[in-house]
Structure 1
Amino acid sequence: MSLLQVKEISHSYRSRNFFNWKKNESQKVLDNITFSIDEGTCFGMLGSSGAGKSTLAKVILGLEKPESGKVLFQGHNFYTADKQIRHKIRRDLQVVFQDSYSSVNPRLTAEHIIAEPLENYEKLTVAEQKRTIIHLLERVGLNETDLKKYPHQFSGGQLQRINIARAISLKPKLIVLDESVSSLDMVNKNLILDLLMELKDEFGLSYFFITHDIKAAYTISDTIGILDKGKLVEFYDTKNQFFSSEHHVVKEMRNSILAEHPRYRTIRSNH
């Protein structure tokens, strides 16, 4: 059985028309989305801005109930499960967001940021918890001297490592990575991707990797889906299938890739 099953998910947002108060317009942001993620694998969801990626992440995380369809995590429907099952799902399903700074409380030290899930789910002594946090910091490339630092004392890449340490602290089954490397520079992006792949193998993690970055998706994903205007338009069992696809959305994505060095970039013109 798949770890995560997304079955025929559809969702819309309603917005009031200010010129006609009787009329509420409905905009479909997800349209009959179906896919699954197996244990120990990474599913990369590629899509441009406005494709519906963030809404899909909220639905999977149990933050936004879809209009129709089901999300099953370890066989349980997050939206119909009892309180005890939802508590277990929240432990096994973690998230790392795009903005590392807005994802943390600026008044908390790195130690307290990582301690939050441990305090909610584990019964550790003060000494055990501190040892665990130090180990997690070291595992993501930081060290004990960072325990008492506040978010503003870290770079974006360092703070994202703290968010990752917090996410893996409970040894979850699945981590949703919502544009988690898109705000980083090229060097930090590659370092974080390397770290994520190492942790995936070490802890047996599964990832739902949401991104608009083709290179990042290709680097980390086992399978790739293409989300366009709320629809899952293409799905690839192997990464090589993506680069041979003739789908117009995929071709546009491939054509948008810039060479890493400006010398090898060309200016495309529609004229």
Structure 2
Amino acid sequence: MHSIGIIPARFASTRLPGKPLVDLGGRSMIRRVVEQAQQARLSRVVVATDDQRILEHVQGFGGEAVLTHPDHPSGTDRVWEAYQQLGVSAGCVVNIQGDEPFIHPAQINALLDVFADASTQIATLVKPVVSDEELQSPHLPKVILGAAGEALYFSRHPIPYLRQYPESEWRTHHRYLRHIGLYAYRPAVLQQLTQLAPAPLELAESLEQLRWLTHGFRIHTAETELETIGIDTPEDVERALRHLATVGTAEA
């Protein structure tokens, strides 16, 4: 199947301006994302940016990039514009977060595998919750699945609520899952998603995927045990550098 990975990368960031160009151990963050994605079974990897500096940087290290409109309301919209610019036909489009420099190729491949089922419209990743801190963190959305592995609902609150047990025992009695924000779509579905109006549940939780569920789209899931490190703040940069130092020591 012909599959395209598109990495939305905006220059503006309230907490970390110029985030895609931040240096992580001698390579920019966006370069690390591109190089990780290129190891997956993708036919093509393209950066979709709103900034000439990012465009030239990606092209400078041999990557492929397109310049997109600066005012897109979401990464989904930026991915759709980039796909249109490419003028090609693909079996699926993978939206790869531009602030995940250690994304695992196996995670991308797991999403591609979901599209072996012709009924798949959208696919995303889930990961078991491994601590009470993860379970209670509003920054790590949780998800509940139906019997066929499709997402029923996403929430920043722990779901389900186990009313018969104290919260300290919830993980003992239920296998909780959290959401990893990596998406893949059929191109025709991606186009439809960009035309949907915001939904009340989406606005309440600030989770875009609830708009899709509200409008009747199905989200298939694949499970991963692998962890990634998202970069949103200067503190996250320091954490990523410590990770790189640890990996370097382990490989020495």
Same fold (TM over 0.5): no
TM-score category, normalised to shorter length: under 0.3
When the two structures are superposed, what TM-score results if normalisation uses the length of structure 1? Answer: 0.22
Q: Max radius of gyration: which structure?
A: 1
